[in-house]
Amino acid sequence: MNGPIASPPTPSAGFLTPTTPPADAVLPPRAPEAPAPGSPLGSHYDQCFGCGPQHPQGLRMTTTAGEGLEVFAEFTVQDCHQGGPGLAHGGLLTTAMDETLGSLNWLLHAPAVTGRLETDFVCPVPVDSVLHIHAWITGVHGRKIYSAAEGRIGGPDGPLAIRAQALFIQVKLEHFTTHGRPEDIKKVLDDSDLMKRARAFEVNP
């Protein structure tokens, strides 16, 4: 069908470089509750596609707190993660970056959701390889948490495969309880493990 080609939407001033922190952003200290450097963050929710051990096709990512405002994560690319033959699907790699960047919020003890996530795919990631992701906070400005990450193949110093920058927006608990499926919200709220309850609400409902 022929017709006029639609113009791309004009970004409003605030959205021109939305994953780059403004000049007056700050780097706050780690929250007192943040896990010690070197300790595993564990899964925040059993059914999370990124880190949940109960998710049948999930990435089953493991994440460790680093020094300061940084984390390190790993996942092994499985057969069920393919896009091209023998290669990881790009969207799935973006999910791995989202999960890792999201786990940074645990260092600030601030529930937040992804507002914007930008990725550069630098080289293909083969099935069976382990992707090593390093993520760090680049600034905080009001409710906005800015962060960046890199994913490397086979080890922390392996070939660079993917880069990302993100903007997370801090939200209240009601973000999850209002939008989430009631039976899943109830299951989490009924869990006697307070830490698991708190961490579950750091993610997408």
Interaction of residue 171 with ligand MFK, rule CB under 6 A: yes
Interaction of residue 30 with ligand MFK, rule CB under 6 A: no
Question: In this chain, which residue has its C-beta nearest to ligand MFK?
Answer: 102
Of the ranges 72-80, 85-93, 154-162, 167-175, which one interacts with ligand MFK (CB under 6 A)? Answer: 167-175
Q: How far is the CB of 116 from ligand MFK (least distance, A)?
A: 4
Q: How far is the CB of 117 from ligand MFK (least distance, A)?
A: 8
Footprint (CB under 6 A) of ligand MFK, residues 82-101? 98-99
Which listed residue (11, 15, 29, 33) binds ligand MFK by CB under 6 A? 15
Which C-beta is closer to ligand MFK: that of 114 or that of 129? 114
Which C-beta is closer to ligand MFK: that of 109 or that of 186? 109
Q: How far is the CB of 101 from ligand MFK (least distance, A)?
A: 7
Two structure tokens written together for 121 = 């795919």
Footprint (CB under 6 A) of ligand MFK, residues 111-150? 113-116, 142-144
Say what the alpha-carbon torsion angle 182, 115, 151, 76 is, to the nearest 10 degrees: 10
Say what the alpha-carbon torsion angle 182, 186, 188, 192 is, to the nearest 10 degrees: 180
Interaction of residue 102 with ligand MFK, rule CB under 6 A: yes
Which C-beta is closer to ligand MFK: that of 15 or that of 120? 15
Interaction of residue 49 with ligand MFK, rule CB under 6 A: no
Q: How far apart are CA 60 and CA 96, in angstroms?
A: 10
Q: How far is the CB of 124 from ligand MFK (least distance, A)?
A: 24
Which residue(s) pair with 153 in the sheet? 131
Interaction of residue 152 with ligand MFK, rule CB under 6 A: no
Interaction of residue 35 with ligand MFK, rule CB under 6 A: no
